Structure 1
Amino acid sequence: MSDLHLVVFDVDGTLVDSQADILASMAAAFGALGLDVPLREAVLGIVGLSLDVAMARLAPDQPAGTHRQLEAAYKQAYMELRADKGSLLSSPLYPGAAEMLARLDAVPEILLGLATGKSRRGLDKLLEGHDMQRLFVTQQVADFHPSKPHPSMLKAALDETGVAAERAVMIGDTSFDMEMARAAGLPAIGVSWGYHPTGALDLADVIIDEFDALPSALQTIWGREI
Structure 2
Amino acid sequence: MLVVFDVDGTLVDSQHAIVAAMTEAYVGAGLAAPSREAILGIVGLSVPEAVAVLSASGVDHPVAAIGDAYKAAFNRARTAAPRADPLYPGAREAIAALAARGDVLLGLATGNSRRGVERFIDTFGFHGVFATTQSADDAPSKPHPGMLLLACAEAGVTPEETVMIGDTTFDMQMARAAGARAIGVAWGYHPPERLAAAGAQTVLSRFDELIPALSPPQTEATA
TM-score, normalisation: structure 1 = 0.92
How many Å separate the matches in 1 of 2:172 and 2:132?
19
Deviation at 1:222, TM superposition (A): 8.3
| SS across alignment from 2:3 | strand
| SS across alignment from 2:44 | coil
Indicate conservation of the 8 Å contact 1:167/1:222, yes or no: no
1:149 aligns to 2:129 (yes or no) = no
Runs of 4 or more above 2 Å deviation? 61-65, 220-223
How many Å separate the matches in 1 of 2:105 and 2:218?
14
**Aligned partner of 2:5 among 6, 9, 23:** 9
**Residue 94 of structure 1: aligned partner:** 88
Deviation at 1:132, TM superposition (A): 0.9
Deviation at 1:166, TM superposition (A): 1.8
Q: Give the helix-richer structure, 1 or 2.
A: 1
Cα shift readout 1:160-186 (whole Å, capped 9, x = no counterpart): 111122221000000000000000001
**Residue 46 of structure 1: aligned partner:** 42
Deviation at 1:84, TM superposition (A): 1.8
Unaligned runs of 5+ in 1: none
Deviation at 1:28, TM superposition (A): 0.4
Cα shift readout 1:26-53 (whole Å, capped 9, x = no counterpart): 1100010011100111000000001110
Deviation at 1:65, TM superposition (A): 7.3
Indicate conservation of the 8 Å contact 2:55/2:61, yes or no: no
Moved more, 8-17 or 72-81: 72-81
How many Å separate the matches in 2 of 1:145 and 1:222?
33
How many Å separate the matches in 1 of 2:73 and 2:9?
19
Deviation at 1:85, TM superposition (A): 1.4
RMSD: 1.5
**Aligned partner of 1:162 among 156, 161, 171:** 156
How many Å separate the matches in 2 of 1:216 and 1:126?
26
How many Å separate the matches in 2 of 1:98 and 1:29?
32
Deviation at 1:82, TM superposition (A): 1.2
Report sequence identity in percent. Answer: 50
**Residue 195 of structure 2: aligned partner:** 201
**Residue 130 of structure 1: aligned partner:** 124
Deviation at 1:128, TM superposition (A): 0.5
Unaligned runs of 5+ in 2: none
